[in-house]
Amino acid sequence: MSGGPRLRGEREEVIAVARRMTADRLVVGTSGNVSVRCGDLVAVTPSGVDYDALRVEDVPLVELSSGEVVEGALKPTSELPMHLTAYRDHGVGAVVHTHSLHATALSLLRDDVPAVHYQLADFGGTVRVAEYATFGTDRLAEAMSEALRGRKGCVLRNHGTVVVADDLAKAYGRAQQLEWLCELWLTASRVGTPRLLGEAELARCAEKFSSYGQNTR
């Protein structure tokens, strides 16, 4: 007797966040991708498909260790190596990869997202720009993983962003914040030299973030 698709809730959330990325202009068309981990399985957006047309059954489930598809009608995103590497190397629960305009523009100019705002403390400090590598390759996954060391997000040079968190809602919120931080730097730098926060202040803000909001555990 069939109980329906496995991880239905997680796959529905992947579809919802993918559609929201398009609506919020963090991606264009079928670019960018989203995944969430549940134990040894990862639900991830498929390759080159209109997100508005996705059904739960379309969303691939892949094994974390091997990347093998165990359920789902469509082929996983070409960026599956990045997603699996983020889970294996950094122990996160969700990954959001965008092609957001301002972050990508900043990647053409800088090697990091400078401390223009205390919100960077939520990422663990100044966000690094990973060196360019061809999309979908193991080399790109390695560059991303290096840039993510001690951080919750990075920018991929000439490409976009990767943001991680314990859950998909928080990862998506960070993706929005990272794009805003990049836009802030670009806006200020057009008219002058932005004044930056110091490491000590970012550390103080990181401590405050640890008990921020309703969940103080």
**Eight-state DSSP code of residue 53:** G
- Burial classification of residue 183, based on how many CB atoms lie within 10 Å of its CB (0-12 exposed, 13-18 middle, 19 or more buried): middle
Residue 182, CB-side half-sphere exposure with 13 Å CA sphere: 30
Q: Catalytic positions, please?
A: 79
Q: How far apart are CA 165 and CA 173, in angstroms?
A: 9
- Burial classification of residue 121, based on how many CB atoms lie within 10 Å of its CB (0-12 exposed, 13-18 middle, 19 or more buried): buried
Locus of tokens 């802030």: 184
Q: Torsion angle of alpha carbons 185, 188, 194, 195, nearest 10°?
A: -90
Q: How far apart are CA 60 and CA 187, in angstroms?
A: 39
